[in-house]
Structure 1
Amino acid sequence: MKNLLMACFILAVASCSTAQMSYSSKNKKAIALFEEGRAEPSKSVDPKTHGPNYAAGIALLEKALEKDPNFWEAHMVEAEMYEELNQPYKAIEHYRKAIAINPNPTSGGAVYFYLGTLEYTIGEYENAVKSLTTFTQAKGAHPENIARAKQLIDDCSFAIEAMKNPTQFKPVNLGPGVNTKDPEYFPTITVDGKTLLFTRLIDDKRVKGSYQKQEDFYVSNLSTFNTWETAVPMPKNINTVNNEGAPTISADGRNLIFVACSDESGINYGENRKGKGSCDLFYTKRLGNQWVDPVNLPGAINTGNWESQPSLSADGKTLYFVRKVMSRNGRPDSDIYFSTLKEDGSWDTPVRLPNTINTPYMEESVLIHPDGKTLYFSSQGHPGMGGLDIFVSRMNEKGEWGKPENLGYPINTSADENSLLVSADGEIAFFASDREGGFGDLDIYYFVMPEKFRPVKTLYFDGLVFDAVTKKPLAGKFSLVNIKTGVEVIKSEADQVNGTFTVSLPLNEEYALSVSYPGYTFYSQNFNMTVADNQESFHMDVPMNPIDEAGPATALRNVFFDLGKATLRPESYVELNKLRDLLKANPAIKIEIGGHTDTRGDAADNLKLSEARAKSVKDYLIEQGIETSRLSSKGYGESIPIFTDEAIAKMTKESEKEKAHQENRRTEYKILK
């Protein structure tokens, strides 16, 4: 709208000239230079930008002003050209000079809107309030611009208060291992905080045209000395001569989704890659130390529009991303969407986040924290300091996103802030900046995240899946269920080569772990995700027993009953369904289900309770379609404890004793045939 109004102003000036109507200047040489300068950008090409030659136009307008310093039309057009060159300070200077000569140089007071918007952009908030207020009071002011001006006045008020109450912010450069003379930006990190992957804009003579630069991925690892090692490029099947950028890496560092863009043909996205729009999301996976060739992200996310800046949830089931489109008035607009992973491995039709998050202006650089409930993003539409500001929104128990909160000054400034990354524990944040003192252009920095903007503290749970007999690594499939809610929070698999896994989990929650692999009885365990203050992770190795009639009984650690009762609790169904699937996949197997109690209470009552619990499990499996002839159940009461009473008596901590009693209270299955 602003450009449209200015274009009308320039056309009006031109029509005045055509009709032999007078300008404010009577100097014929000044008028001739003005008309020549006004037309110059459309006549010649700027050798640096390859666009309209505004610099040449400005040079002629300056000569016109030398002939007549009070030629306000020349100041107005020169201000507009400086705006096109993204030189706001020069544009402001000339708008102010035009107003000083003629307080109403445009109809509807539009010049005050232009001026106030620029003043807001560079952080002159009090001056912006004055200019924008003058505009809203002008006769004939455009209604759409009045609405925008009022929003900007509110933003200025917010910014003034924010600067009076600054947030603690001491950014630290990540150092020469990561940062160079080239721009580095869009960092992503594994949940253990030890592998950083980011985008670097590099010189590349293979790129066609005069702009011989393109984006590639680089990886840096955290050394034992807590410094970032020299970054190395991703393999050549990932990095191509085209642009790759804005990556998101899974918690374990084995799955990567990133943006790749086409070349000038609009077809080629890199070697053996095909896309749907100017920029698409692509997917690759690491097997051992090798990355497979990327593919266009399966499903409905990619379109003819511009999809970018993905952020993968810790459970790998939800992908947030930014889609850019052209709005109704021709202004570029981008919103945040999310898509969920379907059972077949493709991504479902994306859903736009609600207007709580998205505005009629730009939203970019989305990050879903590993806690799954804290969303960071950049926006022009929420009250802020100017440009893109970083905001945080939290999901409530109903799954609704709360009102975004600005991270405040000086994290946010009048410039654009984006590409925020927050560590799993929520204490450290990373971002890109071209501030003074860096190694070159954009560098990656970190800072301590203020307490009030931190997410739920989330650490990582890792381990190794292996054959209990041969110790060979296995690519076991595992799931983690929140015992309190019954919700499956993680569904993944161990590395196909080395059997390792790493996932992120919020602290102070109790989880049920189930791991399965063809030819093996499945493994189950439950645990509370609590760690010591200086502990980084929760580790658990997973030995898998081959299906063998001579094998030991397998504990069903995630089968739960209410105290003193034999009724299955609903959170037991996930585990029992895995036992059902194991039996269906191996139809020759016959099993015995055994119930066990601890030694507390009456022995006869314990035996009776264990028999009833074992029968409850048997009955559930029969309801699930397992033949009765393949199942038997038996109660052992307190006769086969894992921990004897003598062993428990020697324990010094009550928590250890209670855990031992809990181990004794168990349901197991044993393969009979």
Structure 2
Amino acid sequence: MKNLYTTILTILIVGVSGFAQNANIKKADKLFLKRAYIDAAQEYRQAADKTQHILQNLGDAYFYTNQMDDAAKTYRLLFLRHEGEVEPVYKFRFSHALRAMGENEEAAEYLSDYLGKEVDFEEWENQLDTTVAHTYTTNQVMQNAASSDFGISFMGDRVVFASTRNQDRPIYLWNKKPYLDLYVADISEDGTLSNVSLFGDEINTDTHESSAAFSEDGQVMFFDRTNDRRVKTDWSEVPVATISIYRAEMVDGEWDNIEALPFASDQYSIEHPTLSQDGTKLYFASDMPGSLGSFDIYSVDVNADGTFGEPVNLGPNVNTPEREQFPYISNDGVLYFASNGRLGFGNLDIYRSEMENGTFSEAENLGNSLNSEFDDFAFVLKEGEAEEKGYLASNRRGSDNLYAFTRTEYEKPVLPSEISEINPETGRRQIANVGNIYFDFDKATIKPESEPTLNRVAEIMKNYPMLNIEIGSHADARGPDQYNMDLSQRRAESTLEYLVSQGISRNRLMPKGYGEEVPLNDCTQPTGCTNEQYAKNRRSEFTEVGSDNPYFQDKPEAQQEDNN
């Protein structure tokens, strides 16, 4: 009887414990579906048996609240236990969490599996060093760990940004912070913000408001507002509130005529407006039907009468199957936006794309002087000033914060393996996508067809300010040896003068005539070859030389800035 009693008691205890755990998991699942990720994670952590379902949701709850260390540990356990059963999207998230933790080799493995192609972050970063346009210097503008601040924009000489600092607002379950309001602030000389105050009750409500954009004359604004009503959508199992862009007009010193844009919907979100300088195009992010993935960047015509055209997806040069958000269109038509769907430094990075023949070009990462291993987004520029300054938001220090930046043109380093290569005909290190230029018989004049090649040489030298070049010029075998030596030197000098006319310092160029000593074929005698065969030797070549070359030792200014 005693053994029977013990067995029954054990069964009851196990049953009650299992029932309690199931109840906790159901509670956690409901919280997760409502995007109450912090509370959901707390419930999932209490589960004794970490099933695949629990590990997936727990990892996501950490991931969506920027707890990347915990996210990486949880996703790793998920793949250790359920490698063949996990959906590919978890490889994508795991790779971003690993990248945030600096575990780049493992991050590359999972991202390679997800994309179906090899990813080499080191090679990508080295290549990026040769293409980025600017270097950025950043500093955090407000030390306020209690609030999240982001979505900044210029309003004349002041700025408007979104913040969770209003303690009178309801609490948002996602991050357990108050709902967002718009704030206005003055800009100090060093870019920090002062005199911060609420934007105004006609705009701010008890739901989220963020991401304001203003017309050039300051009379029209667009901003985000979360819809009051929660509805069921095709992509959510529980009712959710989507985000709409609203338009407001300045009337008698107050914002009035506040209306959602006509293509807003409670079935999808439209958010993060930015307006072209002339006010004729609005750019925004949306997960509306037709998007390539999560959120895409769109544009829409703004008509003179205040009506709107049909939204247009900006296409695969900008958008990916993942997330593109926070667009900003500069006065010169460059689109800046945040994406986590391209090779980057981790999570959201900021990219740029230029309008070319009516289409935006392939997006380019802005580099590691601006982007971090965490979310970097909401980039804006202060236009029309000599020194290029602006702001971005980042959660690189735990929560969303605003950072001021100053940017300067990037001076690209000399990377010999990428700008020069061994010429198999001469065995010398010749400048690489650059050929020789050729001369007419007994002439040292630059031919018009040689100018594109010389312009390319000038472009490379401007991009690599530490690069010095020998201009090696040659003659064919017809004519006396000394005459050909002098002729080749004149050819080298005329080549040098053309590059100088394109803004290259002559102190970075070494003209050297070789006469007829280094032919590219067997035409070493004054007869016996065709005109075409002789013509191949009447040339100038471009070879990389080090600044330690004796020619440059007498020129202390050899690496000075180019003339322009």
Short-chain TM bin: 0.5 to 0.7
Q: Counterpart in 2 of 1:412?
A: 371
Q: CA deviation at 1:187?
A: 0.7
Q: CA deviation at 1:130?
A: 4.3
Q: Supply the distance in 1 between the matched residues of 2:184 and 2:360 (Cα, whole angstroms).
A: 33
Q: Supply the distance in 2 between the matched residues of 1:435 and 1:118 (Cα, whole angstroms).
A: 13
Contact 2:377 2:394 in 1 (8 A): no
Q: Supply the distance in 2 between the matched residues of 1:322 and 1:113 (Cα, whole angstroms).
A: 21
Q: Counterpart in 1 of 2:475?
A: none
The answer to whether the aligner puts 1:218 opposite 2:186 as a matched pair is no
Q: CA deviation at 1:156?
A: 6.8
Q: Counterpart in 2 of 1:173?
A: 140
Q: Supply the distance in 1 between the matched residues of 2:259 and 2:87 (Cα, whole angstroms).
A: 53
SS in 2 for 1:251: coil
Write out aligned runs for 1:174-189 (5 A): 174-175=141-142, 181-189=146-154
Q: CA deviation at 1:123?
A: 3.7
The answer to whether the aligner puts 1:197 opposite 2:173 as a matched pair is no
Distance 1:386 1:40, change over 3 A: farther
SS in 1 for 2:358: coil
SS in 2 for 1:158: helix
Counterpart selection for 2:334 from 363, 374, 395: 374
Contact 2:58 2:74 in 1 (8 A): no
Which amino acid is the alignment partner of residue 290 of structure 1?
Answer: E
Write out aligned runs for 1:55-204 (5 A): 55-61=42-48, 79-80=55-56, 82-86=58-62, 87-90=67-70, 92-93=72-73, 106=84, 116=95, 118-120=97-99, 122-130=101-109, 136=113, 145=114, 148-150=115-117, 153=119, 157-159=123-125, 168-175=135-142, 181-190=146-155, 194-204=157-167
Q: Supply the distance in 1 between the matched residues of 2:295 and 2:395 (Cα, whole angstroms).
A: 24
Q: Counterpart in 1 of 2:242?
A: 278
The answer to whether the aligner puts 1:384 opposite 2:367 as a matched pair is no
- CA deviations on 1:130-158 (whole Å, 9 max, x unpaired) are 4566xx5xxxxxxxx4xx2537x256752
The answer to whether the aligner puts 1:338 opposite 2:299 as a matched pair is yes
Q: Counterpart in 2 of 1:241?
A: 206
% identical aligned pairs: 22
- CA deviations on 1:488-522 (whole Å, 9 max, x unpaired) are xxxxxxxxxxxxxxxxxxxxxxxxxxxxxxxxxxx
Q: Counterpart in 2 of 1:292?
A: 256
SS in 2 for 1:42: helix
Contact 1:120 1:414 in 2 (8 A): yes
Distance 1:262 1:237, change over 3 A: same
Q: CA deviation at 1:431?
A: 1.0
Normalising by structure 1, report the TM-score: 0.48
Q: Supply the distance in 2 between the matched residues of 1:431 and 1:254 (Cα, whole angstroms).
A: 24
Q: CA deviation at 1:247?
A: 0.7
Unaligned runs of 5+ in 1: 1-27, 65-73, 137-144, 268-276, 454-673
Distance 1:265 1:303, change over 3 A: closer
Q: CA deviation at 1:106?
A: 3.6
Q: Counterpart in 1 of 2:272?
A: 309
Contact 2:299 2:313 in 1 (8 A): yes
Which amino acid is the alignment partner of residue 324 of structure 1?
Answer: D
Contact 2:161 2:211 in 1 (8 A): yes
Counterpart selection for 1:443 from 401, 407, 411: 401
Q: CA deviation at 1:315?
A: 0.5
Q: Supply the distance in 2 between the matched residues of 1:242 and 1:229 (Cα, whole angstroms).
A: 25
Q: CA deviation at 1:202?
A: 3.5
Counterpart selection for 1:263 from 207, 222, 228: 228
Structure scoring higher RCO (CA < 8 A, sep ≥ 6) equals 2
Normalising by structure 2, report the TM-score: 0.56
State which drifts further: 40-49 or 315-324.
40-49
Q: CA deviation at 1:263?
A: 2.0
- CA deviations on 1:588-642 (whole Å, 9 max, x unpaired) are xxxxxxxxxxxxxxxxxxxxxxxxxxxxxxxxxxxxxxxxxxxxxxxxxxxxxxx
Q: Counterpart in 2 of 1:399?
A: 358
- CA deviations on 1:310-337 (whole Å, 9 max, x unpaired) are 0011111111111124789xx9711111
Which amino acid is the alignment partner of residue 214 of structure 2?
Answer: I
- CA deviations on 1:408-440 (whole Å, 9 max, x unpaired) are 11422221111111110371120123455xxx9
Write out aligned runs for 1:341-356 (5 A): 341-356=302-317
Q: Counterpart in 1 of 2:319?
A: 358
Which amino acid is the alignment partner of residue 207 of structure 2?
Answer: N
Contact 1:364 1:379 in 2 (8 A): yes
Q: CA deviation at 1:388?
A: 1.3
Q: CA deviation at 1:354?
A: 2.2
SS in 1 for 2:179: strand
Q: CA deviation at 1:448?
A: 1.0
Unaligned runs of 5+ in 2: 1-10, 233-240, 412-564
Q: CA deviation at 1:128?
A: 2.4
Contact 2:375 2:396 in 1 (8 A): no
Contact 2:151 2:393 in 1 (8 A): yes
Q: CA deviation at 1:446?
A: 0.7
Q: Supply the distance in 2 between the matched residues of 1:150 and 1:32 (Cα, whole angstroms).
A: 48
Q: Supply the distance in 2 between the matched residues of 1:113 and 1:180 (Cα, whole angstroms).
A: 29
State which drifts further: 37-46 or 248-257.
37-46
Write out aligned runs for 1:510-529 (5 A): none
Counterpart selection for 2:25 from 31, 42, 47: 42
Distance 1:58 1:201, change over 3 A: closer
Structure 1 vs Structure 2 CA RMSD: 4.5
- CA deviations on 1:323-373 (whole Å, 9 max, x unpaired) are 124789xx97111111112232211111111221111211100000122x2
Distance 1:109 1:196, change over 3 A: closer
Q: CA deviation at 1:200?
A: 1.6
